[in-house]
Structure 1
Amino acid sequence: MATREKSTCRNGEQLLKIKCLKLVFDCFSYHANLTRFFHLLLSVLVKFNNCAGNKGVRYETNSLDFKVRADGTMYAVHQVQMPSKQMILMVTAWDPQTLGRWEAIIRFLVGEKLQHNGHKPKGRKSIPGELAQQQSDTLLPWRQHQSANGLRRQKRDWVIPPINVPENSRGPFPQQLVRIRSDKDKEIHIRYSITGVGADQPPMEVFSIDPVSGRMYVTRPMDREERASYHLRAHAVDMNGNKVENPIDLYIYVIDMNDNRPEFINQVYNGSVDEGSKPGTYVMTVTANDADDSTTANGMVRYRIVTQTPQSPSQNMFTINSETGDIVTVAAGLDREKVQQYIVIVQATDMEGNLNYGLSNTATAIITVTDVNDNPPEFTTSTYSGEVPENRVEVVVANLTVMDRDQPHSPNWNAIYRIISGDPSGHFTIRTDPVTNEGMVTVVKAVDYEMNRAFMLTVMVSNQAPLASGIQMSFQSTAGVTISVTDVNEAPYFPTNHKLIRLEEGVPTGTVLTTFSAVDPDRFMQQAVRYSKLSDPANWLNINATNGQITTAAVLDRESDYIKNNVYEATFLAADNGIPPASGTGTLQIYLIDINDNAPELLPKEAQICEKPNLNVINITAADADIDPNVGPFVFELPSVPSAVRKNWTITRLNGDYAQLSLRIMYLEAGVYDVPIIVTDSGNPPLYNTSVIKVKVCPCDENGDCTTIGAVAAAGLGTGAIIAILICIIILLTMVLLFVVWMKRREKERHTKQLLIDPEDDVRDNILKYDEEGGGEEDQDYDLSQLQQPETMDHVLNKAPGVRRVDERPIGAEPQYPIRPVIPHPGDIGDFINEGLRAADNDPTAPPYDSLLVFDYEGSGSTAGSVSSLNSSSSGDQDYDYLNDWGPRFKKLADMYGGGEED
């Protein structure tokens, strides 16, 4: 029973403080009715006799507002605001000894007062069970009274509180949930029905209702994880289908049971933590989800660590937040060099981690201890040595080895080497081998034995990553490296390379130009150096083999094709007598200064002018191979001898480079004239040249252009020569025309004659090729002369009886055919055949046939006169001696396999 201790009403809100409520488990669902006037609750009969009698039974509720004592009394832990219609709680009772579990639903209903007399009802200790059952499962439309203008009217409506159904119920099914009644059922017959998801919508027929009694049933077990609630509508109609009441909403909630284990998102979690981390360092988070209601203990998951492997240096190196699943370090001493990985088994349990009746699941957390640079690299020895030949680069002279206990091939392990002293000129560098982490001392700048015979280096090693906080560099992180330099025979070199000298062109042969000497760097070996020419394109120079003195072997000409930009280049070789000998090259560049050694040349060499003056002139200039100041301005003048030159021609200077040549007289006969002109340059001393220009004088048209006849005449041909040339051209064209006419006529006659010849009898055609294998005739054209003059064919007359080989030439006299006289080729195959036919008719040995027959020769002298006489000869009449003759092609086989007469 429940007792009301205090009640207040504030601004229409209903507040209730419940002190205690005695719970007994006689059925699954209990209803406690509360009125707005806070009358006492009706008591409920007890049918369950195990829960209350056992003092070891424990109770829990899914609400934070209420708790249940060990004796089954429910109480509110603070002031509770009741909802306007109802409040639903679930109470779980379980026995730790038998592990038995019981659940009950407590429903607090807020309704009208039970009596209508306006007085508060007195509290009753109990009511009959039938009445209690009727109040728990029968829902009637209640009446809400309203007043207006002093008048009272009544409004009917259905008020259906939410219905709670536990999941995984074992039945039996159908199981009654609630009974729906209309207060009109005493007056008329009413039919009840329900619609909505779970009734007439998928999933179908989860709920059903008796249309007469209004009892509503659930037909199968419910699964809250599949669907947590249903919304149905109840309808009441009369027998004619007319609506009696307005449809009412039914809300059915599936009460959660702890039927799902927590499930980890991943079965294996991977995390990492730096070695040397302090306690409380975050490592990773594991997460498990429970499909049960997370607002109840069924879905509240708690975590704990079950095992840790290995248990070093402590068995509890990590801890886990029971609610969030965060794994953090709890102890110091993580050292990757000792333990690189931990395997932690994490357990998730629902029911807020209660191991007795909660469901559990496990997952594996793999925690990798990551490396930090807490071990500085150390040289394996304090001194190293190496050797390098002089003048060699990119040579590894020493390998430095270090030891580092950090993780290989990581920035904490990768070594970086530095030379801190002993190499001020930067001859060496130290590169790190990415595989072995060794330092390779490499020569990057050539060393000279004559300058330094040894190097004493001090090197230091560190890691790519800085050392961890609190770690100091070891004294073994520095070492000494001794590098010895070995002497080699170095090539002589020219100190000045390329060497440039300047002199005037045209110096005489044998002139000493310079001394191009080389230096041998091996001054301790006292070696001799000899010189020779390596490249002298114009062969203008000589070099002394012992001292390198260079003299001219020919006159140097600046205008030569071997000169590029006034510079002549020659290459010389200097070689010592070392073992092995070494040599070096040097380039000598000679800059030639121009002198006035080239007279100017007149341009152009030929020109054309009209026979009358004032029509055109000839522009002339000069070219000089020299350069300024030994070139223009030029002076152009006509010589005084012969006098006709100055009489017929005149020169007008335009500027220092150009002049004009023109006729002085009014008319000059057409022809070719050689006009000498003197051209002088501006050199010191100046040089001049008399150049002859061929001028073609010709008659011109009004535009000043030479006419065709005039051009020919200007070429030096007279009128008679021109007429002779024209006659020769006409004769040549006539001969060509006659030859073409004759060829056409001959081709026509040949075509007419070919029409009289039968193409099938024309044996002059090419021999056809039928893709036979083997060699063929070199020429495909058949020689008709062989048919016109056949050679004499001898037939075998005398042959001993016997079989004769068909590939053997007949031996003996053969009949002599009359030789036809040699006649010219008739040109007609018909004549050839007719003559052959006449020769065959006159042959006494030819068969008596009317037509010419051709047979292949198969031998003669057969012993059988006819087919009937084949048996008349004996084997003794046959001569098989010819079979012993294998011939040259099979002679080698006969020598290898022939066995004699018995074979």
Structure 2
Amino acid sequence: MDIIVLLFELFSEYFYITVDLKECLQSADFISSSDENFKILEDGSVYTTSPVSFSAEKKTFSVLLKDTQEHVQKKIHVSLVEEEKKARDTVLKRTKRRWGPIPSVMIENSLGPFPLQIQQVQSDTAQNYTIYYSASGPGIDQDPKGLFYIERETGNIFATRAVDREQYPSFQIICFATTPDGYSPEVPLVHTIRIEDDNDNAPYFTQDLFEFSVLENSKPGVVVGRVTAEDRDEPDTLHTWLKYRIVSQTPPVTPAFSLHGDTGVIAVLLPQLDRELVSSYTLLVEVRDMAGQPFGLCTTGTVVIRIEDTNDNAPSFKQTQYETRVEENRVNVEILRVSVVDLDEPGSPGSGAVYEIIRGNDDRSFEITTDKNTNEGVLCVVKGLDYEAAKQRILVIAVNNEAPYMLAPHSQQLSQSTSSVTVHVLDMDEGPVFKPCHLRIDVKECEDIGTSIGRYVAEDPETGNSEGIWYETVLSTSLFGVQHGQGRGRGKEFAKGSYFYLTDGKTGTGTIQVVIQPGNKNYPRITKTEYIMCRDRKPICLTAQDDDESPYSIPFAFHINDRSLASSWKITRHNDNSVYLSPKGDIPFGIYRIPVSVTDNGGKVGEHYIRVNYCDCVTPSECNDGGPRVFAGGNVTLGLWAILAMILGSLLLLLILITICGCCGSGVMHRQVTDDCANHNLIISNTEAPGEEVMDHNIIPLQNTCDQGGYGIKTGDQQTFEMVKGRGHTLESVKGGGHQTLGSVKEGGGGGGQPMMDTCRYSYSEWHNFTHPRLGEKVHLCRQDEEQKHSEDYLLSYNYEGKGSLAGSVGCCSDQHEEEALDFLDQLEPKFRTLAETCIKR
């Protein structure tokens, strides 16, 4: 919003323009000018604060409006432009005038008569001009509207009705003095009308009821609480100067409290407040204004003061002597109730009784407790009494309170109240008694069934011996048994970390607590058995674990069982349950199966085979477990030509064996075959010449006949014999990685082998040591497709069933230079020709 005013020269404190503020901002909490030479009143009037002269340029300033509640700010731009002088300009250069009467005062609740003149305002300019007076503001054209008005010609201000100061303590109105043509020779006057207070409001308490509490026997001067009151009349005057006092006390006994007249603080006055005499007091208090003068206005209120209990009264027994009786050997039975008298507040810690047996209960046979509902002492027998030992027992019982005793002022210390109880023990026919009544037996787990774990004997209290006593279990369990007549427990089955309770006896009972102690029943085991070692030969960490607890688990001892491997591999201790496995020197790349035993702290030994693939790689992920292999049985590496020779020999051997098996009807075997393996591999027939029945289906595949140690090669869906049992040795099958491998075969009658048979020419170990690495490497490397993936033909394990072959190792694969002793094969030549002719016909 922009305003342009044409002026030529401005005088100090003269009215020049009125700005309509409501068009820009409806309600402004803050109105100011950007130019200190101008001021703006709340009605939008603009006045100069000092003379302002113009040069040729334009004079501008801004009116700033701000609503602090809604955080809205707006600005009005005012431009003053110089214009030509007029004849009236000489009048405006007169000396400035001032008018400012003192603030008006109006009595609150004035009785009139109304309208009531309260002030007159006049301007000095009335001597030269005809002046009309007007006013605006609260009480005139703002709420409460019509309360005041000003006479136009005289400037007298009148009130039209009475005013409540508590609602409107003062009014600020703006008075104007103008000429008939609208000229304002005076600056508007801000006039204050103050409403003078009348003592028309009585003080009042801030609460309808004040409640306080104080401990009994409190000393005089102890503050109980404070009452507060307020007055709506004008602060810091006699009308709000308040005084307090106690009007009355209930019950109307000796005054127990005092009330400070100025602060309203209530304090203890009576030196002895006894809750047992008076539990609470009610005070009627008064507050009066005018400093407590009789003509002041007053109000009364109620204060309730409750006296809290302290343990100033000791409990005492109603009787000093009691008598009761109980049967011997009775347990956990109530035999007597005792009661006390206590004057303190019922249900409070000061009256709650606590009983104790102070004499006559050295063996802890009795126990006394408190019944919270009745506050009585309940005497019970917790251990069986023996009539033969004592026919009566005399107990001394004392009583105290839950809260500590507080001695009242001017009172003497009271002694503890006691009472004696005579307990008569009645004789009964008793059964046997276990000694001790509770027996603990520690048993190691894994004990054999029938192992004696302890002895628990009872005796007859009448005779003092154990003769004629029969034992049996009252609470049965499948884990333990009792040897009747002797009281000796025998273990049946044990569970680690469990507790078992047996109760024995017929008329007497005892408790056996069997504690299972940990034993060494588990073997230590290596958690991981297959590893890949690259050419950096970083040591392998072997970790073992044992399910047993200390001291039957760690520390573990690791050992390499094979001497040949122990010379090239070493174990270095890492901690109690792990070691490092690493080669001692240079070894060729390949796969090693290293037998490692682990011994726990209790002597249990677990044996494992660690499979290490020593690979020519940088990281284990680069190694695909292929390439030349080195087996634990010997360090032999096969070349390409040797592998081809192995394959050719193996195929020849396979063909010969199939031919032998196919000769089922061409003649009689001239050589007597006694070995079981030979009998099953060479089909015996009484036919001398080939018969018509010699067909394709008579050429059958070789079946596995050995129970242990035999191996076969699976080609398609057929299985052929690869290895046979040698003379004087058995084949031992060793598991590795979840299946049987060629490298797992050991020499010379290892564990689990069959009795040695001397029916073949060459020993199994001699043949195995030569052919095993060659044939195994060839099968592993050559039975791969073009993409270097293994085909479906794999090594399969067969079991050796009894005896080896008479032929021993046949074929070129054996590569033996000594006499092969295969003369008996010459006798098979006709049958072989018959088989060949049959195959050609196919």
Instruction: Give the alignment's TM-score, normalised by structure 2.
Output: 0.47
Give the structure with higher Rg (CA): 1
